[in-house]
Amino acid sequence: MVLRSKQLVRYAFQRLLLQHQQQQQVRLCSGHGIQQQTALRVEEEDSFPKLADLPPMAAPFPMTLEHAPDVGEQFKYADLSVRLAAPHQLNPKPDVDDLAFGKYFTDHMLRVSYHRRLGGWQKPEITPMENLNLHPAAKVFHYAIELFEGMKAYRGYDGKIRFFRPEMNMARMNVTAYRSGLPTFDSEELIKAMARLVTIDSEWVPHTESASLYIRPTLIGIEPTLGVASSDSALLYTILSPVGPYFKPGVSGLKLYADPKYARAWPGGVGDRKVGSNYGPTIHVQKEAVRNGCHQVLWLYGDDHQLTEVGVMNIFMLYMKENGERELLTPPLDGLILPGITRDCIIRLCHQWGEFSVREQKFTMSMVKKLSKEGRLLEMFGAGTAAVISPIECIAYMGDEIFVPTESHDSPLYRRLYTTLTDIQYGKLEHPWAYVID
């Protein structure tokens, strides 16, 4: 194909503006003190490029949420009190090589009580790690009125401890609280309180880039009354756990179990919210996957067997289109999947790199089988806070095993994404997504 000179100039101009737009999207995506700016696009009129406003990529959920009037007073970091653990309450620190996910816990916890009759949120406090004392009729036990988040703290090569996009976790947590009839809170105040908690237990943050400190903020309804209704009393608490790799050493590519008779979520439900009731019912299916020699469940939905999530991770597929161009697909945020923060990072990074198209689009097992048969299936991987990015090498589906050549390439995309994300998390790559704890 031969381009005329005017077309060539327009094409070069478009590419330059597109690169500028993509850089702006990644540079400005953190809500951590960065002012958003206007990106650029090209509109054609009379075969000549013009500039027009184009907003940056939107967040996958509302970053600010107006508190309902009846929530009452918000808690403040300035009111935080600290009660340190006595020597006999301190826990022995495990060896890094012995770390398993969620098995060990640090010496302290953060807790904030909420009582509507007392005016709303009470003063936050950091206390020694201790058991909770709850009434047997507490709503969390009977109606699963609870939610949680998953975050991490990383000790960088420079010794500094960092969070990773904590404002995103807090925004998602507030959206989930609203959906669950639980009180919302001030995100920045909780981030500061959790940073103080991590500072107190800072020696629990592993001194290695192969491990991190998992942070589990949790909000539960504790009103001691039966009856399906919102809870007028709640407890917001955060516990910390040093963790190693999510999957056991020796696990490379994942083998997935895809059985269309099981569904994780459905339209109009809460598949896009981080509530415990999304996870408990999956345990039986996970055991079935293990019995069939698989590592994780690939959750399908609908008569056309749409791919939704893999285990507790979002899923991505890189393939070759019929015209020879590469494209990265991930399911859309239509209510069936969790709006993952790692997912959002991957989309933004790939847009910035500009080396292939990225689409949020439904795709089915029939498409995966067709691409595999034609040799156009390149990579598949799961993504989430706990495991970061996990390559997929095989899918057991309807009596067939579909091989995915994710790790057969010299420089696979998943490995580049993993390296970029962990370099940001551990401070090797300066980026606004990293939140340094002073």
Closest CA to 200 of 12, 6, 437, 392: 437
- Backbone Cα Rg of the chain: 23
* Contact predicate 256/395, CB 8 Å: yes
Say if residues 49 and 10 touch (Cβ distance below 8 Å). Answer: yes
Both structure tokens of 297:
């469940």
Cα–Cα distances in angstroms (integers) from residue 214 to residues 49, 56, 109, 181, 295, in the given order: 49, 30, 13, 26, 22
Which of 274, 266, 260 lies closest to 336 in space, CA to CA? 266
Please tell me the predicted confidence (pLDDT) of residue 64.
83
**Residue (of 323, 293, 270) closest to 145 by Cα position:** 270
For residues 79 and 123, give the distance between their C-alpha atoms in angstroms, rounded to a whole number. 6
pLDDT tens, N- to C-terminus, the chain (438 residues): 333 333 433 434 444 444 444 444 333 333 333 333 333 233 333 333 332 333 467 788 888 888 999 999 999 999 999 999 999 999 999 998 889 888 999 999 999 999 999 999 999 999 999 999 999 999 999 999 999 999 999 999 999 999 999 999 999 999 999 999 999 999 999 999 999 999 999 999 999 999 999 999 999 999 999 999 999 999 999 999 999 987 665 567 999 999 999 999 999 999 999 999 999 999 999 999 999 999 999 999 999 999 999 999 999 999 999 999 999 999 999 999 999 999 999 999 999 999 999 999 999 999 999 999 999 999 999 999 988 999 999 999 999 999 999 999 999 999 999 999 999 999 999 999 999 997
At 45 the pLDDT is 36
Q: Where are the beta strands (DSSP E) in 204-271?
A: 212-221, 233-243, 254-258
**pLDDT at position 100:** 86
Q: What confidence score (pLDDT) does residue 224 get?
A: 97
- Domains and their CATH numbers in the chain: 77-243 (3.30.470.10), 254-428 (3.20.10.10)
> Please, is 347 exposed, middle or buried when counting C-beta atoms within 10 Å of its C-beta (0-12, 13-18, 19+)?
buried
* 308 contacts 364 by C-beta, under 8 angstroms: no
For residues 87, 92, 96, 97, the Cα torsion angle rounded to the nearest 10 degrees is 170
Say how far apart CA 436 and CA 438 lie, in whole Å.
6
What DSSP letter does each residue of 270-306 carry, written as one string? STTS--GGGTGGGHHHHHHHHHTT-SEEEEEETTTTE
